[in-house]
Amino acid sequence: MLVISCIKQVPDTTQVKIDPVTNTLIRDGIPFIINPYDSHALEESLRLKDRYNMRTVALSMGPPNTVATLRKACALGVDEAILLSDRCFGGADTLATSKVLSAAIERLDRQEQVGIVFCGKQTIDGDTAQVGPGIASRLGFSQLTLVDRIESIDFLHKTIRVRRKLEGRHEIVEAPLPVMITVVRELNRPRYPTVPMRIESQETEIKVWDNSVLELDVETVGLKGSPTWVSKIFSPERDQGEIIGDGIADPVGTANLLIDRLLGKDLLAV
Interface ranges with other proteins (CB under 8 A): 12, 14-15, 17, 31, 33, 189-196, 198-200, 203
Q: Is residue 70 within 8 Å of 60, Cβ to Cβ?
A: yes
Q: Which is nearer to other proteins, 55 or 198 (CB)?
A: 198
Q: Which is nearer to other proteins, 20 or 196 (CB)?
A: 196
Q: Residue 33 CB, nearest distance to other proteins (Å)? A: 6
Q: Residue 52 CB, nearest distance to other proteins (Å)? A: 21
Q: Which is nearer to other proteins, 15 or 228 (CB)?
A: 15
Whole-number Å distance between alpha carbons of 14 and 32? 11
Q: Which is nearer to other proteins, 192 or 229 (CB)?
A: 192
Give the CA dihedral 145, 161, 5, 25, nearest 10 degrees.
20
Q: Residue 38 CB, nearest distance to other proteins (Å)? A: 14
Q: Residue 188 CB, nearest distance to other proteins (Å)? A: 12
Per-position b or e across 125-154, b if 16+ CB within 10 A of its CB: ebeebbbbbbbbebbebbbbbbbbbbeebe
Rounded to whole angstroms, what are the CA distances from 177 to 49, 55, 128, 163, 182? 17, 16, 25, 16, 14
Q: Which is nearer to other proteins, 33 or 101 (CB)?
A: 33
Q: Which is nearer to other proteins, 191 or 261 (CB)?
A: 191
Whole-number Å distance between alpha carbons of 1 and 165? 26
Q: Residue 160 CB, nearest distance to other proteins (Å)? A: 27
Whole-number Å distance between alpha carbons of 80 and 18? 36
Q: Residue 108 CB, nearest distance to other proteins (Å)? A: 28
Whole-number Å distance between alpha carbons of 186 and 166? 12
Q: Which is nearer to other proteins, 134 or 190 (CB)?
A: 190
What 8-state DSSP symbol labels residue 112?
S
Q: Residue 3 CB, nearest distance to other proteins (Å)? A: 20
90 CB burial (10 A radius; 0-12, 13-18, 19+): middle
In the chain, count of helices (H) and strands (E)?
Answer: 7, 13
29 CB burial (10 A radius; 0-12, 13-18, 19+): exposed
